[in-house]
Amino acid sequence: MALPSSASSSARLRLLTVPALLLLLSSAALLVFLVLPSLSPSSASSSAVSSHLCACSPPATHTTTTVTTTTVTASPAPVTTSPTDVAWLKAQLASNSLLLPAGGAAHDAWHRLRKGINPRTREQQLFDINRHHGISHYPEEETTNHTALPCPGELLVEEHHSNYGEPWAGGRDVFEFLANASALTPTEQVLEIGCGTLRVGLHFIRYLESGRFHCLERDELSLMAALRYELPAQGLLYKRPMIVRGEDMDFSKFGDTVMYDLIYASAVFLHIPDKLVWTGLERLAGKLRPQRGRIFVSHNIKFCSRLGGDECTRRLAKLGLEYVGKHTHDSLLFNHYEIWFEFRRPKV
């Protein structure tokens, strides 16, 4: 009798368990449905729940630092020697008792001054250089010694500085006048017709940005002096001027697209046939920047005046040029003035 009673009890247990399990599962599903939204990041209590569920580090704080850099652009060196500069130098000369005597005594007084520890004329210097006398030197030939740019002795003693009929310092006067008259800036383009040994050109090369100076020169000795001595000695190789050997007003090597803000010829057109001068102007007129650009010719413009005023004006107009006027400028260091004639290209 005990066995039937036990089986009946087990059946009743099974009947009670099934509904209970269903109720338990429903309650669990409901609990999950209610709890999950509270765990989402958008919930206001998410931070509180997260603090209990995990030991997470707080989010890192990113700080953005703004660094302001100020670029200081150096102004170009002044073009002109100012009255203040002159006054300062005169004061320096006076304070050092370096005032030259006036009158006929000046020449004798100058030659009584001590002339260095080993005074030599240029001719004597050249002899010394060629004989390696009085200077330290490597015994090897020029091609195998330590000289990076072997230079002829004639250039080293600066014989070419006496090739102009006036002091070498006059080149600075020409630069100052032309740069001021054309309101030149370092970024602009300059062409010199016949730059010679760079008596003037050195100052333009130093003032302008790299590659902004062009020159057409026919004389071999002048080119040797310019390229093998003046540019290296003045520390201007890095400025990369374009100096071209050529004649007959052939400017083709400078390219078809270049536009010039200043073109000048110092005492060059005096030695060129008028016909060739006009050929040069014809080739350059289209390369002169309209309105802004200027052409300056020194000494005289007989290539124009020989035609007569009206005919000269007509030929200039045909090339797209016009005459602006005549100028003079003085020298800073010696009694001298120079005459310049200005042309421009009107607005196209």
Q: 258, 315 in Cβ contact below 8 A?
A: no
Q: 180, 152 in Cβ contact below 8 A?
A: no
95, part of any domain: no
CA atoms within 13 A on the CB side of 277: 23
Model pLDDT, residue 130: 80
Token readout for 17 is: 């368990």
173, part of any domain: yes
Model pLDDT, residue 12: 46
The domain that holds 262 is classified in CATH as 3.40.50.150
Can you give 176-238 as a three-state secondary structure string?
A: HHHHHHCCCCCCCCEEEECCCCCCCHHHHHHHCCCCCEEEEECCHHHHHHHHHHHHHHCCCHH
Q: Residue 333: what are its φ and ψ, rounded to 5°?
A: -110, -15
In the chain, how many domains are there? 1
What does the pLDDT profile of the chain (348 residues) look like in tens digits? 444 444 444 444 444 455 555 566 666 665 555 555 555 444 444 444 344 434 445 555 555 656 565 555 666 678 889 999 999 999 998 899 887 766 666 667 777 776 666 777 888 888 887 877 556 677 766 666 678 888 888 999 999 999 888 899 999 999 999 999 999 999 999 999 999 999 999 999 999 999 999 999 999 999 999 999 999 999 999 999 999 999 889 999 999 999 999 999 999 999 999 999 999 999 999 999 999 999 999 999 999 999 988 999 999 999 999 999 999 999 999 898 999 999 999 976
Token readout for 222 is: 């002048």
Model pLDDT, residue 37: 53
120, part of any domain: no
171, part of any domain: yes
Could you report how far apart the first and last alpha carbons of the chain are, in Å? 131
Rounded to an integer, what distance in angstroms lies between the CA atom of residue 189 and that of residue 173? 20
Model pLDDT, residue 55: 47
Q: Per-residue b/e over 284-307, b at no fewer than 16 CB within 10 Å?
A: bbebbbeebbbbbbbeebebbeeb
Q: Which residue has the tokens 């020169």?
A: 217
25, part of any domain: no
Extract long-range pairs of 68-76: CB within 8 Å, 24+ residues apart: 76/185, 76/186, 76/207
pTM of the model: 0.75
Domain that holds residue 249: 159-344
Model pLDDT, residue 49: 37
129, part of any domain: no
Model pLDDT, residue 226: 96
Strands across the sheet with 213-217, in order?
242-245, 213-217, 190-193, 262-265, 294-298, 337-344, 322-330
305, part of any domain: yes
Residue 112, C-beta contacts closer than 8 angstroms, at least 6 positions apart:
none
Model pLDDT, residue 166: 86
Closest by Cα among 239, 241, 312 to 281? 312
181, part of any domain: yes
Closest by Cα among 304, 243, 245, 296 to 272? 304
